[in-house]
């Protein structure tokens, strides 16, 4: 199909006219999905129109111009950013029918269950087990740092199905119904006082074989798709210039800067300007990357955006905290604890500063991003990997 930017704007306007700019999020997203405007590069009938992803910006701009806030990842971030492309790439027609639209509308939240207490960066070494029993698999083990597990209907579950195979080859990937008997979810409180993530325990949890994505033993390939998409999802914003975190810094600078002693003011002005430039470079790079993105399986270049935006976000929140002077060190009185209703831990400036410390850990640490970029993009010599061909059960733990 050949569609122009104006065609996409007209189709988006038609959705806005049909459901109204004040529509609830679920019916609004449902109408976008049906019109092929969820992700325009997706196939027709599956949330897209099969056209260039560069046209997606027209959808978002048209919605923004109507005065409605819209960001595709504003709800069910993990489901939409990671679950959707994984199910689209590896799922059967039944999986597509059952899950894709409900993920996009946010009716079913999804979580990612990869990390374990002793396996985060080295996730391929994980030890939660699934054993086949007829048409079902029986899962035992534990996951950790599972964001929004307590709000999720489904989980992307990576488990070991063949301990005799080398670590990358003995994994399988399942869709887990989080309401299955034997799934226990316990909150983990972060430095912010929020519990947006969890420990998840599995005791004889039964999963139908039909919930497998990819083949038995092919879990690492499927997981790589999820991880690559995670990096793209975390890798920067395509929202308008100067919005988001950098806007918080600029607003604060406009309020506080005038009262600073001249020498301090000059230094802080340079710092704010430099961060603004870096945020804009990041935004433009993300827009360029999106225009070239492929459906389902982005390449290792996604790690550039993840690395750069995580480190920039921390520098911006450091500047916000410095700008506040000593009061920047104060956290909310009583250090309140809460169970999050989503990702982020935002609210106060101090909470956002504390939450930003996780940016260089979640979705793969900055060290791991540098390894990926060094090895897979720059083709530098790889790290020594002595356990790559050893049966997983023989690797000392």
Ligand X SMILES: Cc1cc2nc3c(=O)[nH]c(=O)nc-3n(C[C@H](O)[C@H](O)[C@H](O)COP(=O)(O)OP(=O)(O)OC[C@H]3O[C@@H](n4cnc5c(N)ncnc54)[C@H](O)[C@@H]3O)c2cc1C
What is the set of active-site residues? 230
Q: Given the complex with ligand X, which of 35 and 368 has the nearer CB atom? A: 368
- The smaller minimum CB distance to ligand X, of residues 63 and 354, is found at 354
* Residue 42 or 197 with smaller CB distance to ligand X: 197
Residue 13 or 371 with smaller CB distance to ligand X: 371
Residue nearest to ligand X (CB): 120
Rounded CA-CA distance 116/128 in Å is: 8
Six-digit token string for 242: 């100067």
Provide the b/e sequence for 81-105 (b: ≥16 CB within 10 Å). Answer: bbbbbbbbbbbeeebbebbbbbbbb
> Shortest distance, CB of residue 356 to ligand X, whole angstroms?
10
- Three-state DSSP string of 37-48: CCCCCCCECCCE
Alpha carbon distance 23, 271 (integer Å): 41
Residue 232 tokens, joined:
């793209």
Structure tokens at 355: 């939450």
| Cα gap 67→132, rounded to integer Å | 52
Please report how close the Cβ of residue 222 comes to ligand X at its closest, in angstroms. Answer: 14
Residues with Cβ < 8 Å from 15, sequence gap 6 or more?
A: 28, 31, 32, 35, 37
Nearer residue to ligand X within complex by CB, 12 or 360: 360
Q: For the CB of residue 20, give the shortest distance to ligand X in the complex, in Å.
A: 34
Residue with smaller CB distance to ligand X, 12 or 229: 229
Closest approach, Cβ 358 to ligand X, in A, equals 4
Asked if residues 85 and 33 have their Cβ atoms less than 8 Å apart, the reply is: no
Q: How many CB atoms lie within 10 A of CB 238?
A: 15
Q: In the complex, which residues of this chain contact ligand X (CB under 6 A)? A: 111-115, 120-121, 145-147, 197, 358, 361-362, 364-365, 367-368, 371, 383
Closest CA to 258 of 247, 273, 248, 269: 269
d(CA 319, CA 249) in angstroms, rounded, equals 7
C-alpha angle 64/244/83, rounded to 5°? Answer: 75
Is residue 33 packed enough to be buried (19+ CB in 10 Å), middle (13-18) or exposed (0-12)?
buried
DSSP type of residue 192: T
Question: In the complex, what is the shortest distance from the CB of residue 118 to ligand X, in angstroms, rounded to a whole number?
Answer: 8
| 53 vs 79 by CB, closer to ligand X | 79
Minimum CB separation of residue 159 from ligand X in Å reads 12
| Nearer to ligand X (CB atom), residue 47 or residue 155 | 155
Q: How far from the centroid of its chain's Cα atoms is residue 4's Cα?
A: 30
What is the spatial distance between Cα 322 and Cα 317, in angstroms, rounded to a whole number? Answer: 9
Q: In the complex, what is the shortest distance from the CB of residue 97 to ligand X, in angstroms, rounded to a whole number?
A: 26
CB of 3 to ligand X, least distance (A): 36
**Structure tokens of 90?**
């590896």
């Amino acid at each position: 199909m050949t569609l122009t930017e104006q065609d996409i704007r007209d189709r988006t306007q038609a959705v806005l006219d049909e459901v109204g700019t004040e529509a609830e999020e679920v019916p609004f997203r449902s109408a976008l999905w049906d019109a092929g405007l969820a992700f325009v590069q997706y196939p027709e009938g599956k949330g897209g129109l099969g056209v260039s992803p560069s046209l997606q910006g027209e959808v978002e701009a048209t919605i923004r111009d109507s005065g409605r806030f819209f960001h595709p990842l504003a709800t069910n971030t993990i489901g939409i950013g990671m679950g959707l492309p994984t199910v689209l790439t590896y799922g059967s027609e039944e999986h597509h029918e059952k899950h894709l639209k409900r993920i996009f509308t946010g009716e079913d939240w999804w979580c990612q269950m990869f990390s374990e207490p002793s396996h985060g960066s080295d996730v391929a070494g994980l030890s939660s087990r699934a054993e086949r029993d007829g048409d079902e698999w029986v899962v035992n083990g534990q996951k950790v740092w599972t964001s929004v597990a307590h709000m999720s209907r489904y989980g992307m579950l990576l488990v070991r199905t063949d301990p005799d195979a080398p670590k990358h080859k003995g994994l399988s990937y399942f869709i887990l119904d989080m309401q299955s008997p034997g799934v226990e979810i316990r909150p983990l409180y972060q430095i912010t006082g929020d519990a947006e993530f969890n420990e998840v325990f599995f005791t004889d949890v039964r999963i139908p074989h039909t919930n497998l994505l990819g083949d038995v033993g092919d879990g690492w390939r499927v997981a790589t798709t999820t991880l690559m998409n995670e990096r793209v999802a975390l890798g920067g914003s395509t929202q308008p210039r100067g919005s988001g975190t950098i806007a918080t810094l600029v607003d604060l600078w406009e309020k506080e800067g005038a009262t600073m002693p001249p020498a301090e003011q000059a230094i802080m002005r340079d710092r704010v300007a430099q961060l603004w430039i870096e945020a804009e470079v990041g935004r433009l790079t993300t827009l360029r990357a999106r225009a070239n993105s492929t459906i389902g399986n982005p390449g290792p270049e996604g790690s550039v955006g993840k690395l750069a935006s995580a480190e920039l976000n921390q520098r911006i929140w450091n500047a916000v905290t410095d700008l506040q002077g000593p009061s920047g060190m104060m956290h909310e009185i009583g250090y309140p604890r809460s169970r999050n209703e989503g990702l982020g831990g935002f609210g106060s400036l101090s909470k956002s500063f504390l939450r930003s410390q996780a940016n260089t850990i979640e979705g793969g640490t900055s060290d791991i991003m540098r390894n990926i970029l060094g090895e897979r993009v720059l083709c530098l010599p790889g790290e020594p990997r002595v356990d790559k061909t050893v049966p997983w059960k023989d690797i000392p733990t």
